[in-house]
Amino acid sequence: MTTEHVAADTEKTADALVGRLFEASIGMFDIMSVYLGDQLGLYRALHDGGPATAGELAARGRIDERYAREWLEQQAATGILEVDDVAAAAEERRYRLPDAHVEPLLNPDSPYSIAPLSRSVVACAKVIPQLMEAYRSGGGVAWSDYGADMIEAQGDFNRPWLVGSFGTELLPAIPGIHERLVADPPARIADVACGVGWAALAIARAYPNVRVDGFDLDESSIELARQNARDAGLRDRVTFQTRDVAEAEAGQYDLAVIIEAVHDMTQPVGVLSSVRRMLRPDGVALIADEKTEDAFTAPAGESERLYYGFSIFTCLPAAMTERPTAAIGTLMRADMMRRLGSEAGFQNVERLDEPQLDMLRFYLLTP
């Protein structure tokens, strides 16, 4: 929905606001019920084992039967699951996962994957007490406080496009990068703030001669990245380190990538300065960050509203845990990225309008 549509369609009445928040509350319950189904393995049990009664699902998922029945009824009532016979006795009703809902809920590599979003929203809800205190004190909420749900969801949210097209379609579409990655001597790439490693692995898979080094300060993310590298059979060309990039070798990398992380950094200019130092004289940095409006807009479109949601609950609080901090929040606008890159010593910060992603924008930085 565009900003113009929001402005035209929003009635400033009490009824309109009450109706909007009522619908949003139903949506929040949907999010939390999807979280239960995802984390308890209930969708997987329905898909792999076929339609089930509450008793059968309880046995497959190793959960209490009464809870299974209530969850199944809610999922059918909200339209996520289908029920064979609504009029059947409660213990005899059989529920199924529609084919159209399999990829969104069960395939993390699918462009339709949506279950990670429920994990990240629930992770935000878990830290509300800490967040309330942070708002009062001006402090922050540490990334680790959000737990595995946020860390893994962040990786899985970007996973579909990284695994599906980053190395095979997007990088080849950016002038100069593809040519260097297929040339000799083999290129060396740094994946900065690598998270669980999907970008590094995508590059290594698409370009079989390159070497990729991933860096992140979060040990749990690095552990997952190393496991992902083992599963992909790429440990010989991809390494992951819990390390500050300020300590990395100077002048050794042909390409550095940072995927949806600059806006989270407390000291982005310092990190970008270190990235510039890591690059060879002819190296480049490729950054993906939020595809925001060029300027603050209100009312805003759906993407902007989602970014602000994550900003007030996650990105800004996490950035406020250290001082000094840039405290950018999720809304990384193009002029902010240009300023950060320039202050870090990059001679050129180019906003790339092609190739495009639905939620992210690319920037090419040259020393």
Report the domain count for the chain.
Answer: 2
pTM for the model: 0.90
What are the tens digits of pLDDT across the range 240-260?
A: 999 999 998 899 999 999 999
Helix (H, G, I), strand (E, B) or coil at 62: coil
Looking up residue 27, the CATH number of its domain turns out to be 1.10.10.10
Is there a domain that residue 112 lies in? Answer: no
What range defines the domain where residue 39 resides?
3-106
Joined tokens for residue 68: 């299974």
Residue-level pLDDT at 154: 87
Residue-level pLDDT at 175: 85
Is there a domain that residue 315 lies in? Answer: yes
Mark which of 73, 106, 139 sits at the end of a domain: 106
Is the domain of 225 the same as that of 303? yes
Between residues 47 and 155, the one the model is more confident about: 47
6 within 8 A of 301, measured Cβ to Cβ = yes
Residue 8 has pLDDT above 90, yes or no: no
Is the domain of 87 the same as that of 137? no
Counting residues of the chain whose pLDDT is more than 90, the rounded percentage is 93
Cβ-proximal residues to 194 (8 Å cutoff; 6+ apart), any chain: 200, 214, 215, 216, 221, 222, 225, 240, 259
Is there a domain that residue 362 lies in? Answer: yes
Q: How far apart are the first and last CA of the chain?
A: 38
Average pLDDT over residues 112-121: 95
Residue 11 has pLDDT above 80, yes or no: no
What are the tens digits of pLDDT across the range 71-91?
A: 999 999 999 999 999 999 999
Is the domain of 241 the same as that of 306? yes
Residue-level pLDDT at 3: 43
284 within 8 A of 255, measured Cβ to Cβ = yes
Is the domain of 164 the same as that of 27? no
Residue-level pLDDT at 363: 97
Cβ-proximal residues to 66 (8 Å cutoff; 6+ apart), any chain: 54
Is the domain of 186 the same as that of 304? yes
Task: Tell me the HSE value of 84 on the side-chain side, using a 13 A CA sphere.
Answer: 14
Average pLDDT over residues 278-303: 96
